[in-house]
């Protein structure tokens, strides 16, 4: 094997062979870069064939000393693991130093989400009769109504939309497409936006459903900025676009939807991912019980 395989080789492998999304590829390269910097600082250069299990353990120990969250440590280790698996399988590296490295245990993290009232306040925040106002309202309604990831909603093209059947095709993680139903509120908002979309479509060549003032595809960062502006209308602080996705799943579960249906809607590959919303709903149930049930607390007479 080459004595100095480059990170660029790994990047091409991720993009061309694994067909990993640009954001995920960027994350892998960033996390591998942290490890390369650690080894280079300690050894003077980076030679993968000389990396030992002890160096992997020292790197993990450094991350723990920095008090990084277990999820962050696990993600960085996962990227380094993927890099060395690539070297073993494609570059002839004889020993994988990550083979026995332990991933830190992750506690069950309850998703943060908006209440139904706050979700309504957020999606109804964009006002005005200019094209941008109609676009922003339609985008937020569709994100909440379909439980979409930000990357999914900005990736929708006009050809993906079927207004007649109230459905939209979205491209999720792993380049897997799925059909998502469009609720009536979102559908009405989208139809109003489509009437005004030509006013922003400069050349008419961009096929994205949501476009900016320059006629280009609306970006993930622009959606994040939109939510930051709109969350002032919410009682709960700190709303993010992903909270709308969590809110969609939680509110559906609370209204009686089954987990399989929610899994299909959100595009989860594993039902265990969807099951985290049962913990959220149980938390809500217990809080309601404590507030309302006459037997939830000891009486003053006891």
Catalytic residue annotation: 149, 173, 242, 245, 268, 277
Start-to-end CA span in the chain (Å)? 77
The string of DSSP codes covering the chain is --SS--HHHHHHIIIIIS---HHHHHHHHHHHHHHHHHHHHHHSS--GGG--HHHHHHHHHHHHHTT--HHHHHHHHHHHHHHHHHHHHHH--S--TTTTPPPPP---PPPP---HHHHHHHHT---SSSHHHHHHHHHHHHHHHHT--HHHHHT-BGGGEETTTTEEEEE-GGG-EEEEE--HHHHHHHHHHHHHGGGT-SSS---BSSB-TTSSBPPHHHHHHHHHHHGGG-SSS---HHHHHHHHHHHHHHTT--HHHHHHHHT-SSHHHHTHHHHHHHHHHHHHHHHH-TTSS--TT-
- What are the angstrom distances between the C-alpha of 139 and each of 23, 63, 151, 220, 223? 21, 38, 12, 12, 8
Instruction: Report how far Cα 76 is from the mean position of its chain's Cα atoms.
Output: 17
For the chain, the maximum distance between any two Cα atoms, rounded to a whole number of angstroms, is 80
User: Please, are residues 133 and 102 in contact by the beta-carbon 8 Å criterion?
Assistant: no
Q: Which two tokens stand for residue 56?
A: 């992997």
């Amino acid at each position: 094997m080459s004595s100095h395989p480059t990170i660029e080789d790994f990047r091409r492998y991720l993009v061309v062979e694994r067909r990993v999304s640009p954001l995920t590829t960027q994350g892998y390269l960033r996390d591998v870069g942290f490890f390369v910097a650690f080894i280079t600082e300690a050894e003077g250069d980076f030679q993968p064939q000389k990396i030992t299990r002890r160096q992997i353990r020292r790197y993990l120990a450094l991350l723990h000393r920095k008090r990084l969250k277990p999820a962050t440590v696990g993600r960085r280790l996962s990227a380094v693991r993927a890099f060395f698996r690539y070297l073993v399988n494609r570059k002839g590296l004889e020993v994988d130093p990550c083979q026995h490295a332990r991933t830190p245990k992750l506690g069950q993290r309850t998703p943060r989400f908006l209440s139904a009232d706050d979700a309504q306040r957020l999606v109804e925040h964009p006002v005005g009769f200019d094209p941008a106002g109609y676009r922003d309202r339609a985008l937020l309604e569709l994100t909440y109504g379909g439980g979409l990831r930000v990357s999914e909603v900005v990736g929708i093209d006009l050809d993906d939309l079927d207004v007649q059947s109230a459905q939209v095709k979205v491209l999720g993680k792993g380049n897997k497409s799925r059909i998502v139903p469009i609720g009536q509120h979102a559908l009405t908002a989208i139809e109003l936006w489509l009437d005004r979309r030509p006013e922003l479509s400069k050349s008419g060549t961009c096929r994205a459903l949501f476009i900016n003032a320059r006629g280009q595809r609306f970006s993930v960062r622009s959606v994040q900025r939109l939510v930051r502006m709109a969350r002032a209308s919410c009682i709960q602080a700190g709303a993010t676009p992903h909270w709308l996705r969590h809110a969609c799943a939680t509110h559906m579960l609370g209204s009686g939807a089954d987990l399989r249906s929610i899994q299909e809607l959100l595009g989860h590959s594993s039902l265990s991912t969807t099951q985290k919303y049962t913990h959220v709903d149980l938390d809500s149930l217990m809080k309601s019980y404590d507030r309302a049930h006459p037997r939830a607390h000891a009486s003053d007479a006891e």
